[in-house]
Structure 1
Amino acid sequence: MVMPESRHVSRRVLAGATLALVGGGFMLREHGSQDAPAGAASGAPSTTTPAVATPTPSPTPTIPKVDTVALTTELDAYRAKRGGVQGLAVRDLRNLQTFEWQPFTNETLSTIKVLILVSVLRKCHETGEALTEQQHTSARRMIQRSDNVATDSLLEWVGTEHVAESAQLLGLTNTTVRGGGAAGTANWWGYSTTNPGDWVTLLGAVHAAPITRTTAGRPIIDDGDRYYIRDLMSGVISSQRWGVADRPLPGEVSAETKNGWGPMADGYRLNSIGHVFGDRRDYHMAILTRSPRGFAYGRETINGLARIVHKALVHEL
């Protein structure tokens, strides 16, 4: 909408154990010493068993974890104060743990553009075609400026059915793709629906190779595609970097993001997805919201949710 709009790899912790080798031996005394062991004077072997020290195991370091009960309580209190509907999912890429809070199904608005771009690149591999310069321009404008005209042109080329198939291949079981209708009508692509967990799964596919492959045995998108999408998401214009990428985040934090927003009768939709890394953090997050008081109020609300989670993730989930 044009308005004031990185790993499925298990981490294994290896703990080294110390093996202490203790050598036993006799202490020699002067001849005739009263504390010499029996038989020492005649050269008879000692029957004394040498003492062997028992290795002391190294303590396993304790890694601080997020108190998810306390985090839930803080998010609940914030939601009660702000009003509206909010839900989110976050996946900690340091240990691949996921936290979900109040997940619900919401209209995607422009966040669907990431899935559309995945589908465009997938079609290129399947047909052997390369993106034209105009399509590259449309992809950049679609992601970085949320240009709806550019989106229309790419969706017309790739086809709504192909986007829906990509969602299925990626395991986005709670996502319904729409397309073909004019903006604001029931079958408009912006009124596709999803939930936070599916959008975190989508971010995972953009960040690292998904397990699911096409029927031809090829990856849905390759490493070059993922780099291309992430590069575009890292260059979203500043006025659209709220929510997951809200700029009050510390300067050393980077974010690859895409937001979506628009009015509806039962609350203004504001959604934000992205990859946040730096400042000892590395996570994917999707926040979906409905604001009872319009865009500006909703942006404040979604920014607050992102800050609460970012602060908590100084520790691992």
Structure 2
Amino acid sequence: MAENTTLTYDRPSTGRGSRGIGLLKGPVRSVWLLHRRALLLFGAYLVLSAGSLVWLRFIAPGEELGPCGSLGSDLPPCGPPPLDSMFDFAGNLGAVAFAIAWLPLAVAFYAGAVLVGAELERGTAGLSWTQSVTPGRWLAAKLAVPAVLLLSGVTVLSLLYRWVRGAGAKALGDQWYFTDVFLALGPAVLAYCLFALAVGALAGLLVRRALPAGGLAFVVTAIVMLFADGRRDRLWPTADVVWRNSRGELPNSALQMENGLVVAGKRVERCWDPQVAMPPGCHSGSGIREWYAVFHPSSHFWPIQLVETGIVLALAAAATFAAFRVLRRLHA
């Protein structure tokens, strides 16, 4: 009786564990191989920015550099740091804040032009889909790898920026409500990075050409960021204060929204300084004057940050959902 020499092969397991391993070794590895130059460029950006922040921390004016004394003593004179030192510190720290705050624009262009748009234009995405990688896993890996790198890297930069800013606060002329400072200090910039990534992927799937997709993602992200910047002060209820018979002053850290005089029980914004000529209607019959101001104190930083972060994360989730829906229709 002849032996049965038929060879049999075990089919690879299709359980959840093997799918997870395949996702790690397949699409994620493909993202690294195809986009390693961009990922290395982002790594260089992180190293340069972090190194600049650490350097600024150790040259921050206003630190305790040793004992000081009055004129005529043997100790160095006490007083504010030199103007050139303050300018160098504030200017360089402002440049780093700008690089952190507006990173989402670069992310949007990269995601639209390179991450998704270029692969669809060249046809490499379709080739991947004919292999063992499904379109859904392909897009998930395209979004997951940059998202993890962005979240971890920008978090480190934001914490470093907060550390450096706290060390040299006396030498700074900007405040928490300045656009670059506000974004660099909190989690809102992380939400904008995720939003930019999702918008870039969606633009790439819709346009399917590299440069137009990148430009569209850049413009949409810029519009959203500028729109939010112009309406940020409306995200949380303001505080107000009234001074009687003597005009007070708000601290420099307060974001002033409105000010004026209380005339006949009504707030008139045009009426402010009684020492200058004021429009008709600013003078009351009595000699009692009340000044008012509407503002956001520095304690409103975190409420505004968290509200804006939540809104942008919701937009990012909507853009991600839309990207998967468009991908499904393309592959149908």
Measured against the shorter chain, the TM-score band is under 0.3
Q: Comparing both structures, which one devotes a greater share of its residues to helix?
A: 2
- What's the TM-score, normalizing by structure 1? 0.22
Q: Which of the pair has the greater relative contact order for Cα pairs under 8 Å at 6+ separation? A: 1
Q: Comparing both structures, which one devotes a greater share of its residues to strand?
A: 1
- What's the TM-score, normalizing by structure 2? 0.21
